[in-house]
Chain A
Amino acid sequence: MPNQYHEAERAIAGTGMGGTMDLGVDEAETLGKRPGPDGGGPQEPPRSLWSDAWRDLRRNPVFIVSALVICFLVLISLWPSAIASGSPLTCDLSKAQQGSQSGHPFGFDGQGCDVYTRTVYGARTSVAVGVLATLGVTVLGSVLGALAGFFGGVWDSVLSRITDVFFAIPVVLGGLVLLSVITSNTIWPVIGFIVLLGWPQISRIARGAVITAKQNDYVQAARALGASHSRLVLRHIAPNAVAPVIVVATIALGTYIALEATLSYLGVGLKPPSVSWGIDISAASPYIRNAPHALLWPSGALAITVLAFIMLGDAVRDALDPKLR
């Protein structure tokens, strides 16, 4: 997997997302205060960027489908036993590689474990890694990026250089090197690694949003009126950085799930007895000729999960980006 989330970031930056998002945010500020854009016409209620975006999203089938998929994933992550009665770790070698049969719709893998149960339980791992890593990346990235953007100068240069260093290390490679020496069986090393390499992506966006916001007249005015640093950041600048960060974080969540699976596939992410789609896909690949079902089901689940998050982020971005209307 060629560095999916770096590429996501580059592509987003390349499509002018930083700039456009800032535009969108500016518009939100002014639209909220002015009566409708066509003042002469019949009075429409004032619309903000957010309610406008929400109105768009509700009509967007891509958004609805991906949101439903994500809701479903979250529910089965919380209560996997609701739809899968067995345990993912109960395996029966005598059934190894057998196909679909009653009570076991997805068949059995190379160890004789029930593929259906393992696929359901795999969602929990993926969602947990995705959500926790995204939280970590967002918090760390926003804080560092906002500090660099707000104070500028030396802070900014140092952070930019550090960001460059992290961008210069291919993700999968870094994961292999760093995680190959860790023997923990929990999900924390993977999350820690993703946070370590993921924060520069968010920090760049937060930095950009803060710098743009800082130049806005009303922020200059607030500063001239003697607003304190913390007040400026929290009341005037942070709201503007929220939209772009949310969009990128949503898309990133999907790519983190893919990254975890990739690292697990390479044998350095999660390790058995953790239940992970990446592990199952890796374990199934030697039996690809005899038992392709053991490969296809977790692959499909993984693909749909990542797709749902990326499509959700994409839909939200389109809705928040007035330039595309």
Chain B
Amino acid sequence: MKYTYDDEADARTTAMIRVMALFFVGIMIIAATTSPVATGTKEGERAPALEGKYYNGSGWFDFDLESYWDPLWVEGDITGQWVALEFMDTDCPYCVQSAEDISVDSNDFGSSDSGWDGAIVNFIASVAELNIEGHDSSRSEITAFRNKIADSGESCANIDCGSRPGGAHNFPYIDDLDLENMQKWKVSGTPSYYLIQPNGIIAWSSAENQGEELRDAILTLVPRESA
């Protein structure tokens, strides 16, 4: 016997089909009209917030990483400013050693005065106080490390902060002694570096490119006039 219409059909099936159709239409509209970018610290993801007080050489001020982003930036545009972010600890020996490289890199890529014909790279350091014995930092230690102040009484990895390698740094140093930013960025150790595009998307991270230097990443990824 053939039924053309089933009066006994369960209303649940009909309701389910209609509601699911509504749901999938909604999802398809969103999928067709947007290209969301996940927020995270892996390459290709949108950089999470980085906030706190930063030292710029004259005092401590509010810092907000988001103020660096230009949502209208397009790939290849050399007018957009990139960000090189370093997570460090003033008592970490590797961070002290790498301070020289960072001095050179920030001088080379931080402005066009050095002859660099590519997009400007803004250097930023987020200073943590790792939970390791002997790592005892403070804002005055951050200041002494950044400005390379000799005989300040502050010790950076068992040496006078003023005798660390490299020159004084002139870029922002963020107070992350409570490790809030470091935890948010899921940084497992210091020093860790991130190179971030002007639109806030992470282009390179040292964690995903073991053995590769920040300088090489900048030379490879940051657009240049001569390229």
Task: Say if A and B assemble together.
Answer: no
Chain B residues proximal to chain A, CB less than 8 Å: none
